[in-house]
Structure 1
Amino acid sequence: MTGCGIAGVVWEHISRWYKVPPIFGFSVRDLLELHKTTKLGVVGKEAFHGIIIIACWRLWKARNEKVFDGKEVNLEEIIGDIKALGFLWFKSKHKSLGWLNWSLGFVRNRNSINQSINQSRVASAKAKEIVSTNPVVVFSKSYCPYCVSVKKLLTEAGSSFKAIELDLESDGSELQAALHEWTGQRTVPNVFIGGKHIGGCDSTTAMHQSGKLIPALTEAKAIATKS
């Protein structure tokens, strides 16, 4: 992984991709420490370190395939796997990262990537603040029939609620991505009552049919109690 010709080509490609000095090490440990010596930022070093780990694994895999299975080494396949696996790993930590920014080169696009990551953090904080400051929140889309159904159900129950129409918000896509990361739910409507995640249309309707919706709305003080 540190001295063979195939590995050398892979390390050269990665160094050009990240625009760092040529990669060289006497051992795997040297390779795993390389990110500390680069001039990349915090996020850049994190990504570079991950790519080095993935590249070491992929080179080890290629070596075993050749030795034990007689499979010829395919450099294009190795480099493609490193980029693809690196993207999946990094995107699992930074949801807003797009493939185009990643595949064109992290350093070349680091400002765009950092901006996307910051937008994701801002959206997450905004979504959580909305939920924490309103008894009932429906993250919705104005054209969605399931959202219309949930809002109608809440209205008929006499509940006040705050509806956030994601398709009408300038940061709607970022908010939806933040909600997906937070709740695991990608779709709308996305309903919260008393700060608790309820789910979508089916979950809210089922809650009503089981007789649990009105008590939850009352406890959250979304329904005015009669004096």
Structure 2
Amino acid sequence: MSLIRIAVSVFILLAVVESAAATRSPSADVQNAIYSNRITIFSKSYCPYCMRAKRIFRDLKENPYVVELDLREDGQEIQSVLLDLVGRNTVPQVFVNGHHVGGSDDTKEALSNGQLHKLLGKNQTESE
């Protein structure tokens, strides 16, 4: 009798896990990426502006979480979520500690005016 209960419990557990995986949405993936990582960049692997944004963080000795939209099946859906979230569907879109920095030019400007260091909790001299 207990073997049947175990089998039923395992079956129910697998059904719940499968259901949870099926209900994951691009919106949940975007929110998770933004709030689970110190730095998140939504990017396309071939985009020169994305490369510049990633280079800014590399020069700061930071390792951002990068979502390469062109390499994902749901990349277009994620880009639509970003449009709803930040009003832009261009890449890159950079987030630091949950704060939307913006695109490549915005990130470069935030670096120049010290805002990026502030968001990262660094002194400007730490990365120079």
The reply to whether TM is greater than 0.5 is yes
Listed as ranges, the gaps of 5+ residues in structure 2 are 1-22
Structure 1 or 2: larger strand share?
Answer: 2
Instruction: Give deviations 1:71-109, integer Å, cap 9, x for gaps.
Output: xxxxxxxxxxxxxxxxxxxxxxxxxxxxxxxxxxxxxxx
Runs of 4+ aligned structure 1 residues displaced above 6 Å come to none
Fraction of identical pairs, as percent: 38
Query: In the alignment, is the contact (CA less than 8 A) between 1:157 and 1:214 conserved in 2?
Result: no
| Residue 58 of structure 2: aligned partner | 155
Partner Cα distance (1:213, 1:178) in 2: 24
Corresponding residue pairs, total? 102
Could you state the TM-score of these two structures normalised by the residue count of structure 1? 0.43
| Higher gyration radius (CA) | 1
Report the TM-score when normalising by structure 2: 0.74
> What is the Cα-based RMSD across aligned positions, in Å?
1.9
Equivalent residue runs for 1:51-70 within 5 Å: none
CA distance, structure 1, for counterparts of residue 118 and residue 101 of structure 2:
14
Q: Which residue in the other structure is 2:104 paired with?
A: 201
Show the 5 A alignment for 1:80-95: none
What is the distance in 2 between the residues matched to 1:148 and 1:182?
Answer: 22
Structure 1 contact 159–217 (Cα < 8 Å) conserved: no
Task: Tell me how far apart the structure 1 counterparts of residues 58 and 121 of structure 2 sit (CA, whole Å).
Answer: 13
| Alpha-carbon distance in structure 2 between the residues aligned to 1:155 and 1:193 | 14
SS at match of 1:203: helix
Verify: 1:165 aligned to 2:56, yes or no.
no
Contact 1:139 1:188 in 2 (8 A): yes
In the TM superposition, what is the alpha-carbon distance from 1:185 to its structure 2 partner?
1.2
Structure 1 unaligned regions, length at least 5: 1-118, 220-224
Partner of 1:99: none
